[in-house]
Copies of this chain bind each other. A is one copy, B any other.
């Protein structure tokens, strides 16, 4: 039953993911061939340094330190780019697509910033491009947005898309420790990189949300318009306080379409009601929810990174392209669900216009009149208080008091105006802690 043809794959990058691809091809080769209809052969592997010793060494005859020799090799059907970074990955992918090759990439930073150029190149080159591994590891979120919900308009995509942050926040919640302590341990255990900036500052999550928003809402997304806050200032105190109110703190990316007039994309530490399934998604797991008028709320949870999951996602994509080659089907690049030319660009919703519920923690003075000075500006700006809690004295100041306010839905600009007034009143020891709250729409 196996067709005669073989599919020849070139691998650019032989780090954790690249080695995983080679390992899975070796381990599950016969099953994979049966599912595709032809064997998939690793034909060439591009590495940076040919002399470096590797935990898994491919046949030396397939090694090269010139990745362009792969994208220009006429015997190679599909190029897998797992080297990461912007260049030369961008030039390599563009060259491969121009040569009509299938391209599978896990490069979220590249797609978030140069996606439009690459999607257009795929269509121009009539070359299939797939990138499931760029977001959420093996979680089938890209193919769900790109296929399963073909008849549906998507309103919202939100979730946990950075495993490092989720791991750190989960351990902070479990152990009651601070960010710096857990980060150090996460680095020692390999859950965070030596330079954790991309993860803990929310940049990686913002990359992923920009890709998902472009896909879900059929619009280019300017990465510079994505609002992002990381988790470095999330404190053990806020995690504990949130828990007392029935919430857990997660780094949440939100992408929302506003009536076909604007798109909101942001990444912020957020409070999630503990009754929501996503609140129980702990450790390095990712979770992404997609909502629309007819599909309701659909949540996908799984390992968002790691060798096995990411390599599996890459090979899931390779399989789709390989099947069309085996079947002799014409290549049909639809990287963005609809043809690039049919998309209607939507502007980014300005941050001031974004609405949310808020958690506010004021580190204030325990003296008469303070409560009114905190709450009056909120009311003056139309911000309604859903619940309020004065906490036990925190820190060393004898006259210190911690006041926590949970608001109903409010607009960012109103909140900022109210907070500016409060901060001008000289009643705070420290800047106000502001976090958004996810969910609870049904209570409003």
Contact = CB atoms under 8 A, between A and B. Distances in A.
Interface of A: 1, 20, 24-25, 28, 31-32, 34-37, 132, 138-140, 143-144, 147-153, 218, 275-281, 287, 293-303, 306, 308-309, 311-313, 315-316, 318-320, 323-324, 327-330, 332, 334, 337-339, 341-342
B1 A342 contact: yes
A316 B36 contact: no
A308 B151 CA distance: 10
A287 B334 CA distance: 29
Nearest to A342: B34
B147 A298 contact: no
B294 A312 contact: yes
A298 B299 contact: no
A281 B279 CA distance: 11
A279 B275 CA distance: 10
Contact of A309 (B25, B140, B295): B295
A293 B306 CA distance: 12
B277 A301 contact: yes
Contacts of A275: 280
A246 to B, nearest CB: 13
Contacts of A294: 20, 24, 138, 308-309, 311-312
A296 B286 CA distance: 12
Max chain B Cβ within 10 angstroms of own Cβ: one of A152, A275, A319, A332: A152
A218 to B, nearest CB: 8
Nearest to A301: B299
A302 B296 contact: yes
Q: Which 8 A-B pairs have the closest CB atoms?
A: A329-B329, A294-B308, A151-B315, A150-B319, A298-B302, A140-B148, A299-B301, A296-B303
Number of copies: 2
Given A278-B277, A338-B34, A339-B1, A149 B296 contact: no
Nearest to A293: B308
Nearest to A144: B140
A88 to B, nearest CB: 27
Given A37-B334, A143-B143, A295-B312, 19 more contacts: A1-B342, A28-B151, A35-B338, A138-B296, A148-B313, A150-B316, A150-B319, A150-B320, A277-B278, A277-B280, A277-B301, A294-B309, A295-B309, A296-B309, A298-B300, A299-B301, A327-B330, A328-B330, A329-B329
Contacts of A151: 24-25, 28, 31-32, 311-312, 315-316, 318-319
Nearest to A281: B277
Nearest to A307: B294
Contacts of A312: 149, 151-152, 294-295
A127 to B, nearest CB: 14
Nearest to A23: B294
A343 B412 CA distance: 57
B308 A295 contact: yes
Contacts of A301: 277, 298-301
27 contacts: A1-B342, A24-B151, A24-B294, A28-B151, A31-B338, A32-B150, A35-B150, A35-B338, A139-B298, A140-B143, A140-B144, A143-B148, A147-B316, A148-B316, A149-B316, A150-B319, A151-B311, A151-B316, A276-B280, A277-B277, A294-B311, A298-B301, A298-B302, A298-B303, A299-B302, A324-B329, A327-B332
Contacts of A279: 280
Contacts of A295: 138, 302-303, 308-309, 312
A308 B296 contact: yes
Contacts of A297: 302-303
